[in-house]
């Protein structure tokens, strides 16, 4: 269980995240939405240890993560992808996955079948010996997710996984993420601007605006929340939930 309690982050005088508390249970898929600059990516960076919070506590399965470096958090099972791809471009697809796989195995969370199946599910089996720098954008997105899964994470944070994808590719991605959910107890925190995609995928959604949580609840509750409509969705939104 990932728990954030009263997390704030300021950059100079700018309050990027203010007093955010949330709790994500094992197996839960949580959406994190909000307008640009709302603090979504900052929150993911705080959880993964790339940034340090100004106040508040982040804990995983009851263990406070204060002072834990990013690699140490990854070893504890906090995995993520990035809004801007961060692939190891000089390595093959296989080696990209191997880097995380070695850490996952050394952390004692082995599950070779799950990883093997994930590679197949994300259509990477035929690409294993291909150099990552020759993959198309869609495959790079998939590789980043499979690489994160190779850590055998307790929580997988996906920062705009559907960015740049067409409708069909987004549908395939959504299907693959649901597959992960069915086959592991890994929780997911998903950031995306494609509301149809995120509303169809998530159990719970948290909405951030100006660094603060303005709403939290099931997708249909959030979609009809007046504050969320005013701050992010707009009056003419039409999301089938």
Partner 1 sequence: MTLSRGIKRGFVGAALLTIILVIIGLITSYFGSRYQLRLVYSTYVNLLVVLGLQVFMGNARITNLSHSAFMGIGAYAAAICVTPVNIKALSLPNAPWGLNAFSLDPLSSALIAIVITGTVALLVGLMIVRLSGIGATIVSLAFLVIVHSLFLYRTDIFKGNQAFFGIPQVFNLASVIALSAVVVFSVRIFRESKWGVALRASADDEVGALSMGVEMYRLRLIAWVFSGMLLAVAGIAYAYFLGTISARPFYFNHVFLTLAMLIFGGMRTVTGAVLGTFVISLGLEMVRWLETGPVFLGIDLPEALGLSGIALGVVIVFTMALRPSGIMGEHEIEDLVLKK
197 binds partner 1, rule: CB under 8 A: no
121 binds partner 1, rule: CB under 8 A: no
61 binds partner 1, rule: CB under 8 A: no
Closer Cβ to partner 1, 139 or 232, answer by number? 139
Q: Which residues pair with 28 in a beta bridge?
A: none
Closer Cβ to partner 1, 98 or 203, answer by number? 98
CA distance 209 to 231: 7
Question: What is the smallest separation between the CB atom of 15 and partner 1, expressed in angstroms?
Answer: 24
Q: What is the DSSP letter of 125?
A: G
- The number of residues making up the chain comes to 241
Closer Cβ to partner 1, 119 or 180, answer by number? 119
Secondary structure (3-state) at 79: strand
The one among 61, 63, 110, 112 contacting partner 1 by CB under 8 A = 112
The one among 10, 95, 111, 117 contacting partner 1 by CB under 8 A = 95
Closer Cβ to partner 1, 68 or 179, answer by number? 68
Tokens 């495959």: give the residue. 139
The two three-digit tokens of residue 79, written as one number? 């995995």
149 binds partner 1, rule: CB under 8 A: no
Report the site for partner 1 in 20-49 (rule: CB under 8 A). 48
Binding site for partner 1 (CB under 8 A): 48, 50, 69-72, 74-75, 79-80, 82, 86-91, 94-104, 107, 112, 115-116, 119, 129-131, 147-148, 151
């Amino acid at each position: 269980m990932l728990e954030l309690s009263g997390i704030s982050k300021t950059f100079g005088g700018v309050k990027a995240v203010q007093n955010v508390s949330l709790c994500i249970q094992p197996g839960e898929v949580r959406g994190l939405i909000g307008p640009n600059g709302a603090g979504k990516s900052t929150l993911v960076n705080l959880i993964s240890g790339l940034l340090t919070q100004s106040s508040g506590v982040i804990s995983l399965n009851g263990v406070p993560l204060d002072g834990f470096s990013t690699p140490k958090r990854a070893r504890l099972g906090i995995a993520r992808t990035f809004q801007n791809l961060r692939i190891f471009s000089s390595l093959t697809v296989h080696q990209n996955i191997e880097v995380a796989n070695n850490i996952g195995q050394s952390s004692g969370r082995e599950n070779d079948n799950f990883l093997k199946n994930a590679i197949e599910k994300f259509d990477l089996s035929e690409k294993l010996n291909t150099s990552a720098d020759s993959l198309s954008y869609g495959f790079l997105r998939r590789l980043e997710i499979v690489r994160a899964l190779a850590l055998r994470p307790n929580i997988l944070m996906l920062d705009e996984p559907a960015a740049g994808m067409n409708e069909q590719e987004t549908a395939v991605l959504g299907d693959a993420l649901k597959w992960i959910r069915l086959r592991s107890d890994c929780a997911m925190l998903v950031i995306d601007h494609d509301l149809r995609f995120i509303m169809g995928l998530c159990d719970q959604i948290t909405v951030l605006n100006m660094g603060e949580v303005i709403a939290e609840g099931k997708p249909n509750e959030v979609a009809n929340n007046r504050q969320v409509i005013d701050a992010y969705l707009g009056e003419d939104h039409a999301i089938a939930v």
